[in-house]
C-alpha cells in the first residue's frame, strides 16, 4: 500500500484548497507548532512539518519553549494560541518531557484548532462518528484503507497497541466503519493466536518485527504503523508479504500519510473558522 503516492496527491489537493482560500479571503491557513526543549528527534519532526506547510501554502508559526517550561506555562501558551484568530491549527510536539502533564496541555488546545486530534473532545468525536479532527496517523490509516477499497464491514480488525493518539483512536475509527474490533497490548496473552484471526491488522506497539509472517492470516490487510530504529516496523515485512493481500511498507506507508492529514486538517480548520469572517 503506497502511502507516499497517496500522501503526495492529498498534499496537492490541500495546497489547491489553501491557495483558493487565500484568493477568496486574503488569509492563508496558519499552523502553530509548539516545542518544549530541544530533543533532536522532535526538532527534526517540527522542521519537517514546517517545510511541508510551506510547500502546501500553509503559514507556520513556531513557538520554541525552554526545557524548563512548566505545565502551567505551556498551558498559558496554548491558550493564547487558541484565542489568536490568526492561528487556525495548533500542534504540540510530544513527548514534552517527564515533568509536563501532557494530557492537561493537550486539553488547553481549542477543539476547533486541534488539527492533530489529541484532545479528549476529538477522541469522543472519533468514537461517536461526530464532526471533528481525527488523530493524524489513524486518519491517514483510514484514508489508505479507503484508497485500496478495503471493505471493513463485518471484518475482524485487530489493533496491537493502545496509545491515546494511535491505538485507541484507530480502533474507534474502524468500529465506526462496522469492523468487529479487538484491542491487544503488552499484557495480552496468546497474542499470536489473536493476530492470526485478523482480517485487518494494525500494528502500533513500537516493537520491531513483533508480528511475524507466520502469524498473518492469508489474505489479510496489514497496516504497520510502527517505526523503529533502522527503518524497521512492528511487522516482519518480508515474511508477512508472502501471506498478506495488502501491506504497508516501512518507510513509505503510514508515515507520509500522517503529515498529509495534518496539513489537510489545518486547511479544513481554517475554512471552518474563516467562514465566520467571510460568509
User: How far apart are alpha carbons 145 and 161 in whole angstroms?
Assistant: 19
CB 205 within 8 A of CB 185: yes
Q: Which helix (H) or strand (E) holds 256?
A: helix 254-274
User: How far apart are alpha carbons 204 and 228 in whole angstroms?
Assistant: 11
Catalytic residue among 49, 113, 168, 217, which? Answer: 49
Active site (annotated) includes residue 116: yes
User: How far apart are alpha carbons 64 and 37 in whole angstroms?
Assistant: 7
End-to-end CA distance of the chain: 40
Active site (annotated) includes residue 59: no
Catalytic residue among 17, 113, 114, 116, which? Answer: 116
User: How far apart are alpha carbons 89 and 270 in whole angstroms?
Assistant: 7
User: How far apart are alpha carbons 103 and 120 in whole angstroms?
Assistant: 9
Q: Compute CA 243 distance to the chain's CA centroid, rounded to the nearest angstrom.
A: 27
User: How far apart are alpha carbons 21 and 18 in whole angstroms?
Assistant: 5
User: How far apart are alpha carbons 228 and 98 in whole angstroms?
Assistant: 21
Q: Which three cell numbers stand for residue 30?
A: 496558519
Q: Which three cell numbers stand for residue 138?
A: 489513524
CB 69 within 8 A of CB 36: yes
Active site (annotated) includes residue 8: no
Catalytic residue among 17, 59, 93, 236, which? Answer: 93
CB 211 within 8 A of CB 239: no
Q: Which helix (H) or strand (E) holds 90?
A: strand 89-92
Q: Which residues are catalytic?
A: 49, 93, 116
Amino acid at each position: 500500500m503506497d502511502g507516499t503516492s497517496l500522501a503526495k496527491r492529498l498534499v496537492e489537493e490541500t495546497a489547491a484548497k489553501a491557495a483558493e482560500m487565500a484568493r477568496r479571503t486574503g488569509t492563508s491557513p496558519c499552523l502553530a507548532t509548539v516545542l518544549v526543549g530541544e530533543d533532536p528527534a522532535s526538532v527534526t519532526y517540527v522542521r519537517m512539518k514546517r517545510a511541508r506547510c510551506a510547500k502546501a501554502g500553509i503559514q507556520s508559526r513556531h513557538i520554541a519553549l525552554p526545557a524548563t517550561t512548566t505545565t502551567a506555562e505551556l498551558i498559558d501558551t496554548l491558550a493564547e494560541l487558541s484565542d489568536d484568530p490568526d492561528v487556525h491549527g495548533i500542534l504540540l510536539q510530544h513527548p514534552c518531557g517527564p515533568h509536563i502533564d501532557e494530557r492537561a496541555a493537550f486539553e488547553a488546545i481549542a477543539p476547533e484548532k486541534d488539527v492533530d486530534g489529541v484532545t479528549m473532545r476529538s477522541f469522543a468525536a472519533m468514537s461517536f462518528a461526530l464532526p471533528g479532527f481525527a488523530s493524524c496517523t489513524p486518519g491517514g490509516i483510514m484514508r489508505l484503507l479507503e484508497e485500496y477499497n478495503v471493505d471493513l464491514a463485518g471484518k475482524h480488525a485487530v489493533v496491537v497497541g493502545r496509545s491515546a493518539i494511535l491505538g485507541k483512536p484507530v480502533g474507534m475509527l474502524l468500529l465506526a466503519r462496522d469492523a468487529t474490533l479487538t484491542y491487544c497490548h503488552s499484557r495480552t496473552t496468546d497474542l499470536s493466536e489473536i493476530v492470526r484471526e485478523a482480517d485487518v491488522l494494525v500494528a502500533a506497539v513500537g516493537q520491531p518485527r513483533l508480528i511475524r509472517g507466520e502469524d498473518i492470516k492469508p489474505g489479510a490487510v496489514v497496516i504497520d504503523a510502527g517505526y523503529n530504529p533502522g527503518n524497521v516496523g512492528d511487522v516482519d515485512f518480508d515474511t508477512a508479504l508472502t501471506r498478506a493481500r495488502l501491506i504497508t511498507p516501512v518507510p513509505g506507508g503510514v508515515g507520509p500519510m500522517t503529515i498529509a492529514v495534518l496539513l489537510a486538517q489545518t486547511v479544513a480548520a481554517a475554512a471552518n473558522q474563516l467562514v465566520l469572517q467571510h460568509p
